[in-house]
Amino acid sequence: MTTPKIEWSSDFETGIDLIDDQHKRLFDYFTDIQHCIERGDGSQVEPLCRGLIDYVLSHLVFEESLMEQAGYPMFEAHRRVHDAFRRRVDDYWAKLSGGADPLKVARDMRTDVGLWLINHIKHEDKHYVAQVKKNLDRGFASRLLGKLFG
């Protein structure tokens, strides 16, 4: 089986720097997780996978807040897509807590979470860009950054 490449590509650019920076950070997590998989080193996988989950959950809330603030008409539908994704990452969190082989969790997350993200960024996220860009309130966004990411 060929290994999917979960890495940043300029195809993913939304043109909203705050969002693009967060998407890039998500791919950085995957790069680190990939290195652990290649080395067969499970010791760092758990904190990396938890870090990724934590970060992606904050990122989804960030996106939702910008969509809502911008009056994006498809906001509720987009949030439901995020809700389904949140349930998937919750399962991985539970697996890590339940003593599953961390390298197996890492490989599964790479294909499942990684490919979902690529697909979501390339398609659904592109739909909110025009509305969010037009209505972006930088003060609101920066307060939100502080609240969600410390």
Least Å distance, CB 77 to Fe ion, is: 11
In 19-137, DSSP assigns E strands to none
Contact residues for 13 (Cβ-Cβ < 8 A; gap 6+): 20
In degrees rounded to 5, what are phi and psi of residue 112?
-75, -60
Residue nearest Fe ion by beta-carbon distance: 125
Question: Minimum distance between the CB of residue 68 and Fe ion, rounded to whole angstroms?
Answer: 13
Give, as ranges, the residues between 109 and 138 that touch Fe ion (CB under 5 A).
125
Shorter beta-carbon distance to Fe ion: residue 48 or 125: 125
Residues 59-98 interacting with Fe ion (rule: CB under 5 A): 63
Nearer to Fe ion, 22 or 34 (CB): 22
CA-CA-CA-CA torsion sign (117, 39, 50, 18): negative
> Closest CB to Fe ion among 43 and 149?
149
**Count of residues binding Fe ion (CB under 5 A)?**
2
The residue (of 63 and 89) whose beta carbon lies closer to Fe ion is: 63
Instruction: Please state the closest distance from residue 146 (CB atom) to Fe ion, in A.
Output: 21
Whole-angstrom Cα distance, residue 38 to residue 133? 39
Q: How far apart are CA 126 and CA 118, in angstroms?
A: 12
In the complex with Fe ion, the residue whose CB is nearer, 36 or 141, is 141
Answer whether 104's CB lies under 8 Å from 76's CB: no
Distance CA 84, CA 119 (A): 14
Q: Residue 132 Cβ, how far from Fe ion at the closest point, in Å? A: 11
Contact positions with Fe ion (CB under 5 A) in 35-64 = 63
Distance CA 88, CA 70 (A): 27
Q: Kindly list the residues in this chain that would bind Fe ion in the complex (CB under 5 A).
A: 63, 125
